[in-house]
A = this chain, B = another copy of it.
Amino acid sequence: MNVEILSIGTEILLGDIVNTNAAFLSRRLAAMGMNLYRQSVVGDNLGRVVEAISESFSRADMIITTGGLGPTEDDLTKEAVAKYFGLKMILDEKSAEALRMFFEKLGRPMTENNMRQAYFPEGSVIVKNGRGTAPACIVEKDGKVIIVLPGPPREMSYVFENEIEPYLSRYTDSVIKSLTLKMFGIGESKMEDSVKDLISGYSNPTIAPYAKTGECELRISAKAASEEEALALIKPVESEIRHRLGEYIYGKDSDSLASVLIDKLNEKKITFASAESCTGGMISSMITSVAGSSDVFAGGIIAYSNDVKIGILRVNPVTIEKYGAVSEECAAEMCAGCAQLFSVDASFAVTGIAGPGGGSVEKPVGTVCFGFYYKGDIKTVKMHFGGDREIVRIRSAMFVLDALRKGADIL
């Protein structure tokens, strides 16, 4: 069964609202194994809505619309459906009575246009809206199905989950399961190159690459008659991908670099602390965004000025004079001082030039030095990152989280 989503509302075309309804419905349809090849948005104009319905039905057997069910003159989705199928609009007495009671309970007079919400194309299945005054409806005719849902996301999602999903189950005999493998330290193109043969060789499960700032992922999706069968299809593909790209894979699904790190340190009962200069608290913020981080993360120092590096982290002023604040030598002393100050097993330090100013020939913008301390041992590394101030900071942060996670593996 091919489905299309048609969102109706001039406010979407003006960019006043983001079309989250389409994303919600798409995710649910994918999970049910229904094929969605198109989303469309059209404004509150009868002719253009009828045209859009007609176009969608030339490609698909089912349309799900959102929006245009309210009481105003602009709300004309049901009229457009009636016009497309050549049906009359009929008053539904039950819906009319519910509307009258709603306004009575509210103690407000009901204006005449509210009654528009009780008219439906002849032969509609009327679907109650547990979160609003406008009922939804389903029209089936000539082998085509159109499901007409309200626009407000709270109402739409409620009606979909409670009334439409059960209705749709008759159209699918399969389930879709997905597994997302998350990677760091490899570019999207190299990742894809490594599994090109799998991507083109498999059609079930499918394998799709995605990229985000600094990291990338492969999503494996299988369609089968049962959840177990779908998972069984995913398993060998996952193994093969892990075999090829395992060194970059840090987690799956909702894992983040920070959550994986916190899990590992919690497991090994390693406490740690941070000393951040150019990242200015970003790494600590990522760490503390994970619930449960307080069991292993003691805290940190944002050592933005040299005075703080010297006065609080006990960096030797001579080190800064000789090598500069952005140096592996300074990073080493920062993480050592940090570990001592917080009395923890491990610590990290970041000092770099995020830009836009502050760069030089030897140390251009993007130069970042890192120090890692673990029970007396110190390792340092210098990196060069491209991008603007925010990107340099994000890349530095992810580099630290990944290095700590790998370190925790070894310990």
Interface residues in chain A, defined as those with a beta carbon under 8 Å from any beta carbon in chain B: 10-20, 22-30, 36-43, 45, 48, 52, 55, 70-74, 102, 105-108, 111-114, 131, 152, 154, 187-190, 192-193, 196, 199-200, 208-211, 213, 219, 274, 276, 278-285, 287-289, 291, 293-294, 297-305, 307-308, 311-312, 341-343, 355-357, 384, 386, 388-390, 393
How far in angstroms is the closest Cβ of chain B from A110?
8
Inter-chain CA distance A199–B211, complex, in Å, is 40
Contact A48 B37, beta carbon cutoff 8 Å: yes
Chain B residue at minimal CB-CB distance from A115: B189
Which residues of chain B are near A343, meaning CB under 8 Å? 307, 311
How far in angstroms is the closest Cβ of chain B from A385?
9
How many identical chains are in the complex?
2
Contact A393 B111, beta carbon cutoff 8 Å: no
Where chain A touches its partner, the secondary structure class is: mixed
Inter-chain CA distance A355–B16, complex, in Å, is 32
Contact B37 A389, beta carbon cutoff 8 Å: no
Inter-chain CA distance A23–B15, complex, in Å, is 4
Chain B residue at minimal CB-CB distance from A212: B152
Which residues of chain B are near A48, meaning CB under 8 Å? 37-38
Contacting A113 at CB < 8 Å: which of B26, B114, B154, B189?
B189
Contacting A14 at CB < 8 Å: which of B12, B17, B26, B384?
B26
Inter-chain CA distance A29–B278, complex, in Å, is 38
